[in-house]
Amino acid sequence: MTDRIKQYLINRGLNPDDFAYGEFYGFNWICIPVRDEYGKLDYFKLRRDPDDKKNLIKYKFYPAGSEAGLFGLEKLKDYKDYVIICEGEFDCMFLRSKGINAISSTAGSASFKDEWVDNLSHIKKIYTCFDSDEAGKKGANNLILKLIHKNHDIYSIDLPKTMIGNDVSDYFIKNKGTIKGLYSMVTPINVKNLVLPSIVLADDEKFLRGEISKLADVEDKYRKDKYNYPAFVYNYIIQDLERKMRSCQYHIKKSSPNYVGTDIETIKAVPILNILDAYGIKYKKSSSNRVSFKLRESENTASAFAYIDTNSFYDYGDKTSGSVIDLVMALKDCGIKKAIDDITLYL
């Protein structure tokens, strides 16, 4: 390892002895060892040399084909009381140098696999501490939603947007932060005791109507209590309840002696604007019988149009078109059976 890289790591508050440095895939990389639950080396997370202007790839794994994993997995068994989940390996290693229990994903803020949550089942308190930018905020919110029904005390550490830099090591090094200051930014996420009724499908209409009544009561409770919850948690709760209520209503109808099924033409006749509303798709009226909307969130400009008179749509981006069934298939990236089942909930 060169003196330049050693100094770079020291400036980040890290111990150079915990890293390697070498050439892989035609470039030089800082090598971060990723270990399995038994402490055995699994693979290297390769981080781009900060002074290499030719390498446009921020990170890779070696050997090729290695998958994203939990960084710090080998230490989890020793974490009983709490753990802080942060955005990257450097943040994780920095916090551990301060005596703080920490883990991270090896693939950044957007990646925390559902199955990793099971590795945290023995830990009482879980804190999220992601970067202060929008990507970090979104990653932390998504992680909290994965933990929402687990038996943990959940807390969010929200780094100030006004600080120099945007990650937790920046908070300590560039802003002279302290451990006490870090914990002063903790916000409890009060969802530990949140239990939503489960839908049990049955042929008994009276029983199913009772389930709807329970769901309505819970929904009303959380609407009144919404200010005790972060907005994204509240929205998740309500969306989950509303989805279950629609499902329950559908199965009541299906279990009725008079139910004879729904034909394709009836499904296709569901107003296309109702479908856009149901999926929270924003649209803008562009003529008396046409609205524009984005079929994909990544689009900068709306390229799709819904035609009210023909109850159909056309996307000028990828030339997708068709009925409301085709629209749901495109929105949900699903097959025709799943699309029909979804639309049936709104009949």
Each of the 347 residues of the chain gets a pLDDT tens digit; together they read 889 999 999 999 999 999 999 998 889 999 999 999 899 999 999 999 999 888 888 888 888 888 888 899 999 888 988 999 998 899 999 999 999 999 998 887 677 888 888 888 889 899 999 988 888 888 888 888 788 767 678 888 988 888 998 889 999 999 998 999 988 888 887 654 444 444 444 445 555 556 556 656 665 666 666 555 566 666 666 666 666 666 655 555 555 544 445 567 778 888 888 888 878 888 988 888 899 999 887 788 888 999 998 999 999 888 888 999 889 988 888 888 778 877 876 55
Burial 200-234 (b: 16+ CB within 10 A, else e): eeeeeeeebeebbeebeebbeebeeeeeebbeebb
Amino acid 328 reads V
Single out the residue of 157, 347, 120, 151 nearest to residue 251, CA to CA: 347
- Could you give the CA distance from residue 155 to residue 64 in angstroms, rounded to a whole number? 36
- Could you give the CA distance from residue 206 to residue 244 in angstroms, rounded to a whole number? 17
Largest CA distance in the chain: 80
Asked if the structure places residue 197 within a domain, the reply is: no
- What is the residue range of 211's domain? 205-255
Identify whether residues 177 and 81 lie together within a single domain.
yes
Identify whether residues 80 and 182 lie together within a single domain.
yes
Asked if the structure places residue 179 within a domain, the reply is: yes
Identify whether residues 89 and 181 lie together within a single domain.
yes
Nearest 10 degrees: CA dihedral of 60, 62, 68, 69? -130
Identify whether residues 240 and 276 lie together within a single domain.
no
Identify whether residues 155 and 96 lie together within a single domain.
yes
pLDDT at residue number 259: 45
**Total number of domains in the chain:** 4
Q: Give residue-wise pLDDT tens across range 249-295.
A: 555 555 554 444 556 777 888 888 888 887 888 898 888 889 999 98
